């Protein structure tokens, strides 16, 4: 059985939180084709009805547009600004390949340093909107294709903390917090954990309990460090790659979301649901690739089952 309460005191006021990346058909961070200001504003006005916190994955032009729209439109979001680093080390444990030549790794280090500079600039430009900065995204878990040595993460955290007023964290799967990332913990203001029961072959009946176990495995190990959940969600389609098609549906997503929301609200655990909108650029070209279908909203911005009661006006205008 999981514990009945969190072992870490809340660091931030509780609220509804969601991961936001607004890439639409034909857009991708890989190509530098970013959503426009108008597209981002459309998204954020949809999300503003239900969410208080947004998590952004990097400090790219997309992040800058999001922060500018929030500022100009007077929206009330608080934003976790991200740094999504490229690989600084090859990783033979990555199932889909992460073997890089020295020139690529050197270029990634320079690019990562540039992204730190950009994150610092954005955090200082929007101090009333950016409430925290996250250094790295799944950069230490054993299967990652963008591994960054822990000593480099520590150096980047220190650099950012010297330059911004916001709390600093790092986002990763629950597993590396038990060993690999332990030296990083003392540098952080809080820990950010990811939990994905469906990726670990857990049925819906066991999903929430498994997420609780993931969370408490970290929070009980570091009782003096606040812990938030920065990714937790359920895909609505799968081609069988890592997730059985029968385990991916809007009904299962809705059930997991309801159970997760009830638990984290009761325990006042800030939890960023993954994710706002489906993103077609992710994963393989297969249209049923599960990476493309984690959104609570479809690509056309209509709500999936989980959100239809909150957005009846959008549900009735679904594109054919």
3-state secondary structure 225-245: CCEEEEEECCCCCCCCCCCCH
- Angle between helical axes of 102-125 and 61-73 (0-180°, round to 10): 10
Dihedral (C-alpha) 101, 104, 109, 112: value to the nearest 10 degrees? -140
**Closest CA relative to residue 198, chosen from 272, 94, 274, 298:** 274
What is the Cα–Cα distance from 134 to 194, expressed in whole angstroms?
Answer: 13
- Please report the pLDDT score of residue 88 as a whole number: 98
- Please report the pLDDT score of residue 6 as a whole number: 41
Residues 215 and 269: beta-carbon distance below 8 Å: yes
Query: 95: which 2 tokens?
Result: 């199932």
- Please report the pLDDT score of residue 11 as a whole number: 82
- Please report the pLDDT score of residue 9 as a whole number: 54
Query: Is domain 17-315 annotated with CATH 3.20.20.80?
Result: yes
What is the Cα–Cα distance from 134 to 56, expressed in whole angstroms?
Answer: 9
- Please report the pLDDT score of residue 320 as a whole number: 35
- pTM for the complete prediction? 0.94
What is the Cα–Cα distance from 227 to 215, expressed in whole angstroms?
Answer: 8
Query: 260: which 2 tokens?
Result: 């997760």
**Residues forming a β-bridge with 303:** 297
Residues 234 and 307: beta-carbon distance below 8 Å: no
- Cα→Cα distances 75→182, 252, 277, Å: 37, 31, 19
**Closest CA relative to residue 107, chosen from 85, 137, 131:** 85
Domain regions of the chain by residue span: 17-315
pLDDT (tens, 9 = 90+) of the chain, 320 residues, equals 334 334 445 689 999 999 999 999 999 999 999 999 999 999 999 999 999 999 999 999 999 999 999 999 999 999 999 999 999 999 999 999 999 999 999 999 999 999 999 999 999 999 999 999 999 999 999 999 999 999 999 999 999 999 999 999 999 999 999 999 999 999 999 999 999 999 999 999 999 999 999 999 999 999 999 999 999 999 999 999 999 999 999 999 999 999 999 999 999 999 999 999 999 999 999 999 999 999 999 999 999 999 999 999 897 655 43
- Please report the pLDDT score of residue 4 as a whole number: 39
- Please report the pLDDT score of residue 80 as a whole number: 98
């Amino acid at each position: 059985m999981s514990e009945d309460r969190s072992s870490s005191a809340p660091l931030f006021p509780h609220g509804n939180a969601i991961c936001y990346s607004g890439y639409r058909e034909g857009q991708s961070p890989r190509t530098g084709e970013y959503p426009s200001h108008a597209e981002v504003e459309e998204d954020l006005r949809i999300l503003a009805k239900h969410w208080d916190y947004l998590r952004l994955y990097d400090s790219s032009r997309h992040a800058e547009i999001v922060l500018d729209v929030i500022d100009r439109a007077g929206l009330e979001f608080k934003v976790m600004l991200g740094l999504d680093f490229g690989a600084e080390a090859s990783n033979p444990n990555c199932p889909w390949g992460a073997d890089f030549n020295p020139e690529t790794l050197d270029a990634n280090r320079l690019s990562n340093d540039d992204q730190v500079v950009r994150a610092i600039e954005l955090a200082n430009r929007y101090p009333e909107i950016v409430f925290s900065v996250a250094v790295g995204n799944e950069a230490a878990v054993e299967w990652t294709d963008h591994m960054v040595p822990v000593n480099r993460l520590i150096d980047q955290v220190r650099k950012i903390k010297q330059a911004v007023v916001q709390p600093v964290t790092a986002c990763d799967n629950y597993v590396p917090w038990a060993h690999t990332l332990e030296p990083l913990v003392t540098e952080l203001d809080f820990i950010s954990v990811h939990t994905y029961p469906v990726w670990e072959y857990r049925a819906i009946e066991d999903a929430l309990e498994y997420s609780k176990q993931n969370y408490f495995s970290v929070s009980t190990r570091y009782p003096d460090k606040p812990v938030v959940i920065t990714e937790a969600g359920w895909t609505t389609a799968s081609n069988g790659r890592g997730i059985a098609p029968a385990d991916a549906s809007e009904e299962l997503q809705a059930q997991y979301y309801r159970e997760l929301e009830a638990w984290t609200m009761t325990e006042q655990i800030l939890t960023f649901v993954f994710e706002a909108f489906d993103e077609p650029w992710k994963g393989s070209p297969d249209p049923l690739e599960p990476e493309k279908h984690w959104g609570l909203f479809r690509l056309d911005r209509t709500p999936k089952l989980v959100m239809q009661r909150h957005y009846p006006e959008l549900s009735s205008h679904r594109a054919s």
